[in-house]
Amino acid sequence: MVIVAALVGVAGFPIHKATGTSLAALLLPVGLLGAMEYWRRGHVDLKAAMIIAAGLAIGAWFGARAAQHVNGTTLQRGFAIFLVLIAARMWMKAGS
Protein backbone atom coordinates (compact mmCIF):
# COMPACT_ATOMS: atom_id res chain seq x y z
CA MET A 1 0.00 0.00 0.00
CA VAL A 2 2.76 2.42 0.92
CA ILE A 3 4.83 1.85 -2.21
CA VAL A 4 1.88 2.36 -4.58
CA ALA A 5 0.75 5.47 -2.72
CA ALA A 6 4.29 6.90 -2.77
CA LEU A 7 4.80 6.15 -6.45
CA VAL A 8 1.52 7.87 -7.33
CA GLY A 9 1.71 10.76 -4.87
CA VAL A 10 5.44 11.52 -4.80
CA ALA A 11 6.86 10.17 -8.05
CA GLY A 12 3.80 11.01 -10.16
CA PHE A 13 3.38 7.51 -11.61
CA PRO A 14 0.04 6.61 -13.18
CA ILE A 15 -1.81 4.13 -10.93
CA HIS A 16 -1.37 1.14 -13.28
CA LYS A 17 2.39 1.75 -13.57
CA ALA A 18 2.72 2.28 -9.80
CA THR A 19 0.92 -0.97 -9.05
CA GLY A 20 2.97 -2.97 -11.56
CA THR A 21 6.23 -1.43 -10.35
CA SER A 22 5.34 -2.20 -6.74
CA LEU A 23 4.58 -5.85 -7.55
CA ALA A 24 7.84 -6.17 -9.48
CA ALA A 25 9.81 -4.73 -6.54
CA LEU A 26 8.18 -7.11 -4.06
CA LEU A 27 9.20 -10.30 -5.82
CA LEU A 28 10.95 -13.07 -3.86
CA PRO A 29 14.21 -11.41 -2.71
CA VAL A 30 12.54 -8.67 -0.67
CA GLY A 31 11.22 -10.81 2.18
CA LEU A 32 13.67 -13.67 1.94
CA LEU A 33 16.31 -12.47 4.42
CA GLY A 34 13.72 -11.32 6.95
CA ALA A 35 11.79 -14.58 6.66
CA MET A 36 15.00 -16.55 7.10
CA GLU A 37 15.73 -14.73 10.38
CA TYR A 38 12.21 -15.37 11.67
CA TRP A 39 12.53 -19.02 10.58
CA ARG A 40 15.86 -19.33 12.39
CA ARG A 41 14.20 -18.17 15.61
CA GLY A 42 11.21 -20.50 15.17
CA HIS A 43 8.67 -17.80 14.33
CA VAL A 44 7.37 -19.05 10.98
CA ASP A 45 4.35 -21.28 10.45
CA LEU A 46 5.39 -22.77 7.11
CA LYS A 47 1.99 -24.34 6.35
CA ALA A 48 0.17 -21.04 6.95
CA ALA A 49 2.81 -19.15 4.95
CA MET A 50 2.40 -21.50 1.98
CA ILE A 51 -1.41 -21.18 2.05
CA ILE A 52 -1.17 -17.39 2.25
CA ALA A 53 1.45 -17.33 -0.55
CA ALA A 54 -0.80 -19.41 -2.81
CA GLY A 55 -3.71 -17.08 -2.12
CA LEU A 56 -1.58 -14.01 -2.76
CA ALA A 57 -0.27 -15.42 -6.03
CA ILE A 58 -3.74 -16.26 -7.32
CA GLY A 59 -5.20 -13.00 -6.01
CA ALA A 60 -2.42 -10.92 -7.54
CA TRP A 61 -2.88 -12.59 -10.92
CA PHE A 62 -6.67 -12.13 -10.96
CA GLY A 63 -6.38 -8.61 -9.54
CA ALA A 64 -3.79 -7.57 -12.11
CA ARG A 65 -5.90 -8.93 -14.96
CA ALA A 66 -9.01 -7.17 -13.66
CA ALA A 67 -7.19 -3.87 -13.04
CA GLN A 68 -6.15 -3.69 -16.70
CA HIS A 69 -9.81 -3.23 -17.60
CA VAL A 70 -10.45 -0.41 -15.11
CA ASN A 71 -10.00 3.26 -15.99
CA GLY A 72 -6.94 4.75 -14.24
CA THR A 73 -8.98 7.44 -12.48
CA THR A 74 -11.47 4.90 -11.16
CA LEU A 75 -8.69 2.58 -10.03
CA GLN A 76 -6.85 5.41 -8.25
CA ARG A 77 -10.02 6.59 -6.50
CA GLY A 78 -10.85 3.04 -5.44
CA PHE A 79 -7.34 2.63 -4.04
CA ALA A 80 -7.69 5.92 -2.15
CA ILE A 81 -10.97 4.75 -0.59
CA PHE A 82 -9.28 1.48 0.40
CA LEU A 83 -6.44 3.42 2.09
CA VAL A 84 -8.93 5.61 4.00
CA LEU A 85 -10.82 2.53 5.23
CA ILE A 86 -7.60 0.86 6.37
CA ALA A 87 -6.47 4.07 8.10
CA ALA A 88 -9.84 4.40 9.87
CA ARG A 89 -9.66 0.80 11.06
CA MET A 90 -6.12 1.31 12.38
CA TRP A 91 -7.21 4.54 14.12
CA MET A 92 -10.13 2.83 15.83
CA LYS A 93 -8.04 -0.16 16.96
CA ALA A 94 -5.14 1.95 18.27
CA GLY A 95 -4.91 1.70 22.01
CA SER A 96 -7.31 -1.24 22.19
Per DSSP, 11 falls in state S
pLDDT for residue 53 is more than 90: no
pLDDT tens string 7-40: 999 999 999 999 999 888 887 677 888 888 999 9
pLDDT bin (cut points 50, 70, 90) of residue 1 is confident
Could you tell me the CA-to-CA distances from 96 to 34, 88, 89 in Å, in that order? Answer: 28, 14, 12
Looking at this protein, which amino acid is placed at residue 91? W
Alpha-carbon distance of 16 to 22, in angstroms, equals 10
Residue 4 exposed, middle or buried by CB count within 10 Å (0-12, 13-18, 19+)? buried
The pLDDT value recorded for residue 23 is 85
pLDDT digits (tens, 9 = 90+) for 54-93: 998 999 999 999 999 999 999 999 999 999 999 999 999 9
Task: Indicate the DSSP class of residue 28.
Answer: T
